[in-house]
Structure formats: C-alpha cells, structure tokens
Amino acid sequence: MVDESKNLQNSCFSEEALKKYLSSVYGGDVEICGVWRLGGEKTEAIRDLKGFGYGVPYVIKFKVRGEVKRVVLETMRPEGFGHDFVSDRAAVLLWQHSAFNKLPRHVRSVDVGAFTVNGKGLKSLGDCGEFFILTEYVEGTLYHVDLDRIKAAGEMTPLDEKRCLALSDYLVQIHSVKKEAPWLYVRRVRELVGHGECIMGLLDSYPPNLNFIQECDLIEIERDCVVWRWRLKRKAHRLSQVHGDFHPWNIMFHEGADFTVLDRSRGEWGEPADDVTAMTINYIFYSLQKYGELAGVFERLFRLFWENYLLKTNDWEILEVVQPF
C-alpha cells in the first residue's frame, strides 16, 4: 500500500515531465516559459519543481504551435474535511473536471490528471498517485478584495452595487435550471449535515476546550441540524442547478461587473439557499467586523442581493429552508 503522506512530501517533477504531459494534452510540442506559484513571483523555465506544495496552485506559462498559453495546475490538501485519502481527492477533482465546463461563466477545465506514484511524472490518469486539476488562467480580482475595501472605507461605489446585483442575477439564472430527482435532493441535504466539508465536518475541525462555546452547545447544533434534514427532505421539488461554494473567494471580477466563478463544489444540483447564503453570510461577517451588527453599507448589500433575488425568482419558499445553510 502506498504511503500517501510520504507521496505528497516527495513530489519533484522536472521540466521534461511537464513538457511531456502538456504536449500530450495539447497535441503538439510544448516549450515551458515559466512556472510560479499563483500570486507569487514569476520565474524562468524550471529544471525541477521540488517540494511542490499540495493545495498550492501553480501558473504554467508555455508555448505550443507558436501560441503562448497560461494554465493553472492545482491539487488538494489532504488534511480533513473528507479529503483524507487519494480516492477522496480524486473524486472531487474528477467531478470538477466533468462539471466546470457545464456552468456558465465558470473557468474552464482543460484536463484532470495525476502524479505518478514516484511523484516525478504527470499523466492523464492511469498509473496515478495524486490528482490535480488543470484550468484556464483568468485575470481579475477576487470579490473579497472589494469587500475589504468597503470595510476599510465605510462606503461603497455605484460599481459595488452593480457587482452585487450581477452576482444575485447570476444565481437567478443558474437556479432557474431545475431537475426532477428527489433522491439527489435528499442526498444533498444529508451531505449538508454530515459531509466532511459541511456542518459536521466543520464542527469536527474545532479544537477542544474552546473559550466561546461548549461541547454541549455543539451537540445541540448537530441535533437541530438533523431535525432540519428531515424537514428539508420534503422539499425535493426545489432541486436546482447550483455552484455549491459561491463565496467571495470564488468570484473573480474583471472590468466593471463582468466576472468568472471558480471552484464549483459538492455536486451540480442542490438547494438554491446554499448558494444564496454562501454569499450573503459574508455581508453579515464583514458588517460584524465593521459595525458589530448588520448595518451600514453591508446591510445595504445584503438587502440588495436578497431583494433582487426574491423579486426575480419569486422563490419565497427559500425563506422556509434557508436556516441550516
């Protein structure tokens, strides 16, 4: 049996291995121009990429058939949230590759592949060790940067309102696509409570002896969530196309209100409240940091997003299911 943690630590692949892999993906001879950590300093062409950081995205700049391209190679961290085994992470990345290109405005997946067991080669599956996903590179600014600026200044611009409405409109659009699959809705609700990335997984990530909450309180939260699971199981008619992880760190804005969404997660279909709350809870978080309550500019954004969504979807039932999300 392969020691997975050791496999992660010993990764070291060469420029030649990277060229071979990209040449097979793009069907032509590739010249590597540079490799660098996303958000870090750019480097010249590599010889060996030692100590490759799992969970750290890398930009690869290369030339094929005279055209310069940039892609992002990214793996998943192995610790916690149901990502403990290679098979867990492979399932997520394989699903992402199959789902990214189906959602409007989502960054495109070019390929899904794996590092070989010795950590020195890359291939499109087969004799694989650790999985990664290769997406297109997009320029832009993550939405949380806007929220950081608004918090610091205590004011927002007309563009901030337009971007808030653009995000709300986007959910109106994708949630309009429905699916008749009651079992799938029930599964998504079950995963909301018990999945490693969701409520119980997050509660399990808390260290013991917290000074702001007791174990009995966490137990009570879990009990309440199980009750909510049984309530939501009756709402299977609500199954809709979703993003699954729609928060400010997964939204990349370009010029104006144009944007790209990143890192779709946890299934193509689910409860629309998941997406709406994943975004709007951040207006509450930022407002608590700024004002100690929901107030000011963040209350305006919160209400603007919700009112626009409710007006255009007429989905008032969402207010009956939103609580556990």
Reading the chain (325 residues) residue by residue, the pLDDT tens digits are 344 444 444 455 688 889 999 999 999 999 999 888 888 766 554 545 555 556 788 899 999 999 999 999 998 887 666 676 787 888 889 899 989 999 999 999 999 988 887 767 887 664 456 778 899 999 999 999 999 999 999 999 999 999 999 999 999 999 999 999 998 899 889 999 988 888 898 899 888 888 888 999 999 999 999 999 999 999 999 999 999 999 999 999 999 999 999 999 877 899 999 999 999 999 999 999 999 999 999 999 999 999 999 999 999 999 999 999 9
Residue 73: beta bridge partners?
A: 58, 134
Answer yes or no: are the C-beta atoms of 219 and 106 closer than 8 Å: no
What pLDDT shows up at residue 241? Answer: 97
Nearest Cα residue to 300 out of 171, 145, 141, 163: 163
What pLDDT shows up at residue 79? Answer: 67
CB atoms within 10 A of CB 110: 21
d(Cα 22, Cα 123) in Å, to the nearest integer?
A: 9
Q: How far apart are the first and last CA of the chain?
A: 39
Alpha helices by DSSP H, the chain: 4-9, 15-26, 86-99, 143-153, 158-175, 182-194, 199-204, 215-232, 272-291, 296-313, 318-321
Q: Is 22 helix (H, G, I), strand (E, B) or coil?
A: helix
d(Cα 53, Cα 177) in Å, to the nearest integer?
A: 38
On the CB side of 48, how many CA atoms lie within 13 Å of its CA?
Answer: 7
Q: Is 33 helix (H, G, I), strand (E, B) or coil?
A: strand
Relative to beta strand 122-123, strand 259-261 is unpaired
Q: What single DSSP character describes residue 293?
A: S
Written as six digits, the tokens of 177 are 């696509």
The amino acid present at 209, given as its one-letter code, is N
Answer yes or no: are the C-beta atoms of 182 and 229 closer than 8 Å: no
Written as six digits, the tokens of 247 are 């928060």
Question: pTM, whole model, 2 decimals?
Answer: 0.78
- The ranges of the chain annotated as CATH 3.90.1200 are 141-321
141-321 under CATH 2.60.40, yes or no: no
What pLDDT shows up at residue 45? Answer: 47
What pLDDT shows up at residue 6? Answer: 47
